[in-house]
A and B are shown apart, each in its own frame.
Chain A
Amino acid sequence: MNRPAPLLTARGLRKSYGTTHALDGVDLTVEAGESVAIMGPSGSGKTTLMHILSGILTPDAGSVHFTGAGTGSTNGGTEVSSLNEEARAKLRRERLGFVFQDGLLLPELTAVENVALPLMLSGVPRPAAESHAAQWLAALGLEGMQTRRLGELSGGQAQRVAIARAQVADPHVVFADEPTGALDSATSASVLGALLDSTVGRGRTLVMVTHDQATADRCSRLVRVADGRIVADSAAATTGGVR
């Protein structure tokens, strides 16, 4: 095989909360350009898996390897789980994007300020950050809503702002946890379209937790989780066996 190294490689992930085994030995490989849907019953460990993959949580055992360019070590990539809190925060800020179910936008900021925030946190001057943010808002169909605040946006619009915020630093991977969970099905479909277009549509990678089969069907790969383990993986068919 002559493929480039996978973007994300997780090996033997375990995580327990007291006696609850949220993750019980998970191996997962994500290639650049994939859109991975993670499905599974409530409490099966989807959020925990995503938080460990993205360096929000550290696993009790196992490792996560990330080979995005500019992650510090030039060739070999980064061992996410061995970074300290500060370094993981920097990684998330500069290399990863996030969309949550409840967009978690700052209500006192305007749409454009919310989107510009990650750039400003990375030291980009405000005018540059805001004009770049405005372009992203426009690209996501929010032209003319730059100066609106959270209270003046609909749920779908707010979620598009959150998507713009996730994209603005041009991350290698976007992680989304039930990004359309709070939206009706029509809005959900259009927001999902925006999310897919802005990530895999541009050769980037998307890892998304969802409860909705229709949403999962639009991704290139489906991973099913139950009781802290991966029980099915549509990509496994091509390589033979669960990865």
Chain B
Amino acid sequence: MNHETMQPGTQSGHPGPTPDGHLGAVPDGPPSGTGRGGTAAVLRLFLGKLFSDRQVWGLPVTAFAIVGTLALLVAGGAASFWTIEGDLAGFYLILSVFALMLLVFPLVGLAGSAARLLARRRDERLSSLRLLGAGTLTVRTLAVVESVVLAAAGLLLGVVGYLVFMPLVGLIPFAGRPIGLEGMWLGTGWLFAVVGALLLMAAASSMAGLRRIEITPLGVRTRQQAATVHWVRVVLAVVGLVLAQVLLNAFGAGDMMVVLIMLLVGFGLPMLALHFIGPWLVGLVTRRTWRRAETAEKLVAARNVLESPQQAWRQIGGLAVTTYIGVVGGAGMGLANAVSAEGARPEDLVLIGDLQTGVLLTMLIAFVLTACSVGITQAAQVLDRAQMYRGLGRLGMTEPTMEAIRRRSVMGPLWIVLVFTLVAAVVTTLPVIGAAVLFSPASIALVAAALVLGVLLVRLGVTASRPTLRGVLAER
């Protein structure tokens, strides 16, 4: 390519081939190796450098720290219900299982976006290694070990985060008193189980990503293939089955079995159905937005979503069910509280209050999980498309415009999901919500406030990745 004629000597201090095509001094021949994999040497080389470049470890470690903290807090909170004693023990247990079921989707979504981060930058280096002829074993070991090391470092911080936030979350009252530190403490066994499960997920997703590299080193190298994630549904199903199994073992078959089947059939199936319909709905509405888009921001944001409505849904969809339950439950329990205020037993009032707290809390946790997932995914996307953003900057697109595009491509699907859910809630439970508006406006206000807070959290998730964009743009 470089055929221009150059006066010799104008190029100084540049090692390697000189521009006129003559090579400098070249070493004789490569040192001879053993001919065997050299896995250990490669492993040492890469692991030694793993934590020297913040660009490599910063985001994945942060992501897994967040995942660890939130997963442990959710597990701790749920487990606190299992220690409640008295007549209502079984009832609280079912509530906690129900809440966990609702939170599995956003939790898996969050963990998934963290796991995808591990695959990001590494893919390129690994397929380069592949192209250089590194053995399958070397590549595979390196990928898994790197992922697990990064994830473990993050999860370790996550455990610290869990311990730090435990007292705060412990202030939330249930069954007439705050959950407390003891309630929030999972016990070492469960703690290791949760951390171990997350680590396994990191390893598994890095293996899954790896198969792609092994099949088409060139494909990944040039980012031709879209990274689709199929395993979310499988994980959902497995988690559901495991939960059922654990509960069955703990409490024996019988009533619990019936209740669980009811829960799974009554809510699990519609949830699954919703996750098939959701992407289609997001695509449908966004297509309309795209057609009517007048500004560059709206146009690009809509195109962004249409590129993969599934991905948009994966990030936001977990909010549909939790919001539905939060709105209906929040209004319903507020109403029940208002109506039965006189002449009700104090235990019943506590229970109703707990239900109200529980549904709203579950909804808010889902928003927090989604916000974190949005922040992580957005930061990763900015890094993936750094070149593009810099190019757009050179063309004269300003940073606020890029921010607006990113914000719209997250908030657009979020509004679709929320509006759809709210309409569904009002239509299906009009009497409850109508009565609540009349007799317990305070509870409606509470639900509304929780929703606003949730939306703001997701918005904050987008904003959290703004420094990443600024960093990318500052680099020329």
* A130 to B, closest residue via Cβ: B299
B387 contact from A89, A93, A102, A211, Cβ within 8 A: A102
Decide if B387 touches A121 in the complex (CB within 8 Å): no
Q: Which of A62-92 contact B (CB under 8 A)?
A: 86, 89-92
Tell yes or no: A28 within 8 A of B by CB.
no
Q: Which of A104-132 contact B (CB under 8 A)?
A: 104, 106-109, 113, 117-118, 120-121, 125-126
B residues in contact with A98, CB < 8 Å: 394-395
What 1/0 mask marks residues of chain A from 39 to 70 whose CB sits below 8 Å from any chain B CB? Answer: 10111100000010010110000000000000
Decide if B396 touches A126 in the complex (CB within 8 Å): no
A99 to chain B, nearest CB (A): 10
* B303 to A, closest residue via Cβ: A108
> Which stretch in B48-56, B126-134, B290-298 binds the other chain?
B290-298
Q: With A and B bound together, what is the CA distance between A96 and B394 in angstroms?
A: 10
What 1/0 mask marks residues of chain B from 380 to 414 whose CB sits below 8 Å from any chain A CB? Answer: 00000001100111111110010000000000000
Tell yes or no: A227 within 8 A of B by CB.
yes
B396 contact from A94, A100, A231, Cβ within 8 A: A94
Decide if B299 touches A211 in the complex (CB within 8 Å): no
What 1/0 mask marks residues of chain A from 4 to 42 whose CB sits below 8 Å from any chain B CB? Answer: 000000000000000000000000000000000001011
Tell yes or no: B249 within 8 A of A by CB.
no
> Which stretch in B11-19, B38-46, B323-331 binds the other chain?
B11-19
A residues in contact with B228, CB < 8 Å: none
B residues in contact with A100, CB < 8 Å: 391, 394
B397 contact from A89, A102, A231, Cβ within 8 A: A89
Also in contact, A91 and B396, with CB within 8 A (given A41-B10, A109-B300): yes
Interface centre among A117, A121, A211, A216 (most CB of B within 10 A): A121
Instruction: Give the secondary structure class of B's interface.
Output: loop
Decide if A104 touches B396 in the complex (CB within 8 Å): no
B295 to chain A, nearest CB (A): 6
Also in contact, A51 and B476, with CB within 8 A (given A118-B395, A227-B10): yes
Decide if B12 touches A227 in the complex (CB within 8 Å): yes
Also in contact, A56 and B394, with CB within 8 A (given A41-B19, A126-B294): yes
Tell yes or no: B234 within 8 A of A by CB.
no
Chain B interface category by residue count: 20 to 34
Tell yes or no: A226 within 8 A of B by CB.
yes
B residues in contact with A239, CB < 8 Å: none
Q: With A and B bound together, what is the CA distance between A93 and B6 in angstroms?
A: 36
A97 to chain B, nearest CB (A): 9
Interface centre among A93, A96, A107, A120 (most CB of B within 10 A): A120
Q: With A and B bound together, what is the CA distance between A212 and B14 in angstroms?
A: 21
* A178 to B, closest residue via Cβ: B1
Tell yes or no: A213 within 8 A of B by CB.
yes
Decide if A106 touches B300 in the complex (CB within 8 Å): yes
B residues in contact with A106, CB < 8 Å: 300, 303, 388, 392
A residues in contact with B468, CB < 8 Å: none
Decide if A43 touches B14 in the complex (CB within 8 Å): yes
Tell yes or no: B347 within 8 A of A by CB.
no
Q: With A and B bound together, what is the CA distance between A89 and B303 in angstroms?
A: 24
Decide if B396 touches A118 in the complex (CB within 8 Å): yes
Also in contact, A121 and B10, with CB within 8 A (given A42-B2, A108-B306): no
Q: With A and B bound together, what is the CA distance between A113 and B303 in angstroms?
A: 10
Q: With A and B bound together, what is the CA distance between A47 and B311 in angstroms?
A: 37
Decide if A104 touches B387 in the complex (CB within 8 Å): yes
Decide if B6 touches A41 in the complex (CB within 8 Å): yes
Tell yes or no: B36 within 8 A of A by CB.
no
Q: Which of B207-235 contact A (CB under 8 A)?
A: none
B383 to chain A, nearest CB (A): 16
Decide if B294 touches A86 in the complex (CB within 8 Å): no
Decide if A211 touches B395 in the complex (CB within 8 Å): no
Q: With A and B bound together, what is the CA distance between A107 and B306 in angstroms?
A: 12
Also in contact, A231 and B10, with CB within 8 A (given A51-B476, A120-B295, A211-B4): yes
* A41 to B, closest residue via Cβ: B19
Q: With A and B bound together, what is the CA distance between A133 and B3 in angstroms?
A: 36
A160 to chain B, nearest CB (A): 17
Decide if A126 touches B395 in the complex (CB within 8 Å): no
A179 to chain B, nearest CB (A): 13
A residues in contact with B11, CB < 8 Å: 41, 44, 226-227
Tell yes or no: B141 within 8 A of A by CB.
no
* B11 to A, closest residue via Cβ: A41
> Which 10 A-B pairs have CB atoms at the shortest separation, nearest pair first?
A93-B396, A104-B391, A92-B396, A120-B296, A226-B10, A108-B307, A108-B303, A41-B19, A89-B396, A121-B296
Interface residues of A (CB under 8 A from B): 39, 41-44, 51, 54, 56-57, 86, 89-94, 96, 98, 100, 102, 104, 106-109, 113, 117-118, 120-121, 125-126, 165, 181, 211-213, 216, 226-227, 231
27 A-B pairs whose Cβ atoms sit less than 8 Å apart in the complex: A39-B4, A42-B2, A54-B394, A56-B394, A86-B398, A89-B398, A90-B396, A92-B396, A93-B396, A94-B396, A102-B387, A104-B388, A106-B303, A108-B303, A109-B299, A113-B299, A117-B299, A117-B300, A120-B296, A120-B299, A121-B397, A121-B401, A126-B294, A126-B299, A165-B395, A211-B2, A212-B1
Known: A92-B394, A100-B394, A226-B10. 8 other contacts (CB 8 A): A41-B10, A56-B476, A92-B396, A121-B396, A126-B293, A211-B1, A211-B3, A226-B11
Interface residues of B (CB under 8 A from A): 1-6, 10-12, 14, 19, 293-296, 299-300, 303-304, 306-307, 387-388, 391-398, 401, 476
